[in-house]
Amino acid sequence: MKNETWGRVKQQLLESVGRNNYANWIEPLALKKVDNGVAVFSVPTSFMANWVSRNFADTILTHLKAANTSASRVEFLVEPLRPQPAAEQVVALAPKGDAKTAPSEPKVAISAVAEDAKEELPGAPLDPRFTFENFVVGKPNELAHAAARRVAEGGPVTFNPLFLYGGVGLGKTHLMHAIAHEIRERSPEKRVLYLSAEQFMYRFVQALRDRQMIDFKQLFRSVDVLMVDDVQFIAGKDSTQEEFFHTFNALVDQHKQIIISADRAPGEIQGLEDRIKSRLQCGLVVDLHPTDYELRLGILQTKAEVYRAQYPGLQFAEGVLEFLAHRISTNVRVLEGALMRLFAFASLVGREITLDLTQECLADILKASERKVTVEEIQRKVSEHYAIRLSDMIGPKRVRSIARPRQVAMYLAKHLTARSLPEIGRRFGGRDHTTVMHGVRRIEELKSTDSQIADDVEMLRRALEA
């Protein structure tokens, strides 16, 4: 691919991602080469590499393909403008125990771009889109949202720290940035420092190496609000934890607000010192629950509005958002990526966004998020529910207290998996397919006459499909 092709693609990207995103994330990319179908771009920081690959890789690829390049994949290579230690080196410098606690999310935030020239805090850049305004509230995140709002209002510190936890892509970082935006807006004089735990470690290691621990301590003890994202990262990294603990205590003593996020509750972070765990539990601990259908639909509707404004004239069929909310239940990031790709694709090919187009365009994502329930899982859940032994589920006993749960499990296996009756029979201790068929029919009958069975089946189905 020639650089002028990339130039043209960039022009189209400007239209599809908007001016702000373009200036922040697309403009700084330099096309290095296209090799074996892989388009390699160099980016100045690993934060950027992550951000772009998470949020824009799909769109970039769609446009590259549309421009008839041979690219079938994109990669981002970190090439610092100034010499800067790479993330790997930092990890190597850190104390023992790093390998086993590699973070599940990609590495983030090794950049020291101050948002504002006068603000010299070495935090990570804030995403301008991560505001309270853009955060859709639903049952699963209601409490976390309310707590975040409260902290963002300033006022006397009532709980310290605020500890937000939850799975990947449920909005922890979004809420933290929203707090930071809000505080900066309400009280510009406040020193708000937001960084990832990884960045905290990086700065700590750097300070040790450069013998600038005094500056380091002073910096972290002089902020009004400290926000540390993905704190599970420092688990197992002893001296970083130690320093974090002291920083934490110093700030709490001064009644400065601390906001922490992690992928799990404090008590469940392995490799985290007990005294830190208990400190973290002292404030308010709230979790972001996995999204439910309504929240996903709400998020999709909000985002779709934005895209509709960006792509005027694009037709959008009924039921597409409902379909996506139903089918993509993993995390919000995947949901957003899917929607972005859908709009980019539809506008390129100039077609209406229909269910067919959605299935065509998002086949891989839909496939990946297909929830595959196994017969074994069903057997386990059902035996737990009826408090019988798993071995009895598959065994020969025929008493009703065992046979009925077994039939429920067979019924669910028939309806929730793609297994045939003989295959199901085999998994139930080598039973015949007619036995399975009988069991399935029996539950079908009972469902209409016995409301207890109907409730059980419904509840189990929901638990298995969640």
173 lines the binding site for Mg ion (CB under 5 A): yes
**Mask for 178-207, x = binds Mg ion (CB under 5 A):** ------------------------------
Q: Which is nearer to ligand ADP, 161 or 169 (CB)?
A: 169
Closest approach, Cβ 223 to Mg ion, in A, equals 20
Rounded distance between C-alpha atoms, residue 203 and residue 188, angstroms: 25
Give the range of 161-169, 279-287, 346-354, 435-443 binding ligand ADP by CB under 6 A.
161-169
332 lines the binding site for ligand ADP (CB under 6 A): yes
Nearest-10 Cα torsion for 316, 174, 288, 378: 50
79 lines the binding site for ligand ADP (CB under 6 A): no
Q: Which is nearer to Mg ion, 95 or 103 (CB)?
A: 103
Helices and strands (H and E) in the chain: how many: 22, 8
> Among 23, 77, 168, 459, which residue interacts with ligand ADP (rule: CB under 6 A)?
168
Closest approach, Cβ 282 to Mg ion, in A, equals 23
CA triplet 331, 332, 337: central angle to 5 degrees?
105
Closest approach, Cβ 176 to Mg ion, in A, equals 8
Contacts within 8 Å (CB) and 24+ apart, 319-324: 319/355, 320/353, 320/354, 320/355, 320/358, 321/297, 322/297, 323/355, 323/358, 324/296, 324/300, 324/358, 324/362
> Among 170, 225, 235, 421, which residue interacts with ligand ADP (rule: CB under 6 A)?
170
Burial classification of residue 296, based on how many CB atoms lie within 10 Å of its CB (0-12 exposed, 13-18 middle, 19 or more buried):
buried
Nearest-10 Cα torsion for 436, 442, 446, 448: 90
Q: Which is nearer to ligand ADP, 141 or 232 (CB)?
A: 141
Cis omega (within 30 of 0) for bond into 312: no
> Among 63, 174, 381, 431, which residue interacts with ligand ADP (rule: CB under 6 A)?
174
Q: Which is nearer to Mg ion, 173 or 241 (CB)?
A: 173
Number of residues lying near ligand ADP (CB under 6 A):
17
CA triplet 342, 60, 7: central angle to 5 degrees?
130
108 lines the binding site for ligand ADP (CB under 6 A): no
Question: Residue for token digits 């709230």?
Answer: 286
Closest approach, Cβ 299 to ligand ADP, in A, equals 5
What is the CA 129 to chain-centroid distance, rounded?
Answer: 16
Give the range of 164-172, 215-223, 265-273, 376-384 binding Mg ion by CB under 5 A.
164-172
What is the CA 219 to chain-centroid distance, rounded?
Answer: 30
146 lines the binding site for ligand ADP (CB under 6 A): no
**Within 122-141, which residues bind ligand ADP (CB under 6 A)?**
130, 134-136, 141
Question: Residue for token digits 């080598």?
Answer: 430
Closest approach, Cβ 67 to ligand ADP, in A, equals 27
Closest approach, Cβ 336 to ligand ADP, in A, equals 5
Q: Which residues of 193-214 are buried (b: 16+ CB within 10 A; e: fewer)?
A: bbbbbbbbbbbbbbbbeeeeee
**Within 228-247, which residues bind ligand ADP (CB under 6 A)?**
none
**Contacting positions for ligand ADP (CB under 6 A):** 130, 134-136, 141, 166, 168-174, 299, 332-333, 336
